[in-house]
Amino acid sequence: MRTETVVEVCRISKSFGRQSRVLCDVSLTLKRGEMVALIGASGSGKSTLIRTIGGLIPVDAAPANGDGACGVVRLFGLPMQENGRVTRHAKALRARTGVIFQQFNLVPRLSVLTNVCIGSLGQRRTLLGAGGYFAAEDKRTAMRALDRVGIAQLALQRGSDISGGQQQRAAIARTLVQRAELLLADEPLASLDPSSSKRVMNILSDLNREDGITVLVSLHQVEYAIKYCPRTIALRNGAIVYDGPSAALGRDFLNEIYGEESEQLFVPGFDAPAVHAVSTLPGEDVSVPATTVPSLRIASSPAQIDARQTA
């Protein structure tokens, strides 16, 4: 069993301005091979947490009287951030980390193939790729990645000429070319229709199961967390209010955590399954009743979270 810690977040907070605290004393760990959902209502801090883990925005500096473990983000055992600064290890760690955004981030005028080849730039010592010149082997690798996500036939089309779901699959193919070991997906389904959303989640699940890629995916609707992710971390007002099996995420339980905001997390007519397979690593399979409420970091009440936010 692989137990290597891929992501370690130690008591990080993030503020924008003096009054707006988006993350509050957040700690979590991800083991190699996990597929974990990050859920929460709009404004709960999901995107900010994804971006801080990826080293895209700095966390707040630890208080002067705090211990050395405050405000640290480690990937693969090396610090990505500490004491409010992105570290010198960031470039090497980003090369091992793929980030997928809801905006797709393809270059519209470039072909899909070239957009995917861009994923190899972090592995290159020359600037040829920056000028759009890629070796034949890079292009073959990109074509294999496009074939894996089911859009090889679109390789020569411009990025602006394909659908949103196809653009998101191209973005995933780019992370394959990058050879990412950790995949951070920031609401990758936000702009997609249900059919495209299911296809993207199937691809992410396949990469996790077959390649052992560690996946943290933020989702706005809990049905996808229950179906695809054995473990879910729930945020409210920038704090973790639940970290445990996705099987426990029924309506009543989420209503206790989020109150009226819980309705944002379900699609109309959705009912959580009674039993769901839960695992922490590929190959494990443990059935957990959906009515079980595990004791893995559950806040006592939303009121306590609000009090902690303003403390």
The model's pLDDT over 143-153, given as tens digits with 9 standing for 90+, comes to 999 999 999 99
Residue 16 confidence (pLDDT) above 90? no
- Looking at per-residue pLDDT, the higher value among 260 and 169 belongs to 169
Read off the pLDDT of each residue in 5-11 and give the average, rounded to a whole number: 96
On the question of pLDDT at 135 being above 70, the answer is: yes
**Domain ranges within the chain, ordered by starting residue:** 5-96+181-310, 106-178
> Each residue of 248-306: pLDDT tens digit?
888 888 888 777 777 777 665 555 443 333 333 444 443 333 333 333 344 433 333 34
Q: Which residue has the tokens 């819980």?
A: 262
Res 242: pLDDT: 94
Taken in order 92, 98, 101, 104, the sign of the CA dihedral is: positive
- Residue 191 is predicted with a pLDDT of 83
Looking at per-residue confidence, does 295 or 53 come out higher? 53
H or E element, residue 35: strand 35-39
- Give me the pLDDT at residue 276, please: 36
Give the CATH number of domain 5-96+181-310: 3.40.50.300
pLDDT tier, 66 (very low <50, low <70, confident <90, very high otherwise): low
What is the predicted pLDDT for the residue at 154?
96
Q: Give the number of other CB atoms < 10 A from CB of residue 300.
A: 8
Which band of pLDDT confidence, cut at 50, 70 and 90, is reported for residue 73?
Answer: very high
Task: Record the tokens describing residue 287, joined without a space.
Answer: 């059935």
- How much is the pTM? 0.82
Sign of the Cα pseudo-torsion (243, 245, 248, 249, in order): positive
111 and 157 Cβ atoms separated by less than 8 Å? yes
Kindly give the pairing relationship between strand 20-31 and strand 5-16.
antiparallel
* Among 287, 231, 305, residue whose Cα is nearest residue 26: 305
Q: Contact, 74 vs 80, CB < 8 A?
A: yes
**Start-end of H helices in the chain:** 46-53, 90-95, 112-117, 136-148, 164-178, 194-211, 222-228, 251-258, 302-310
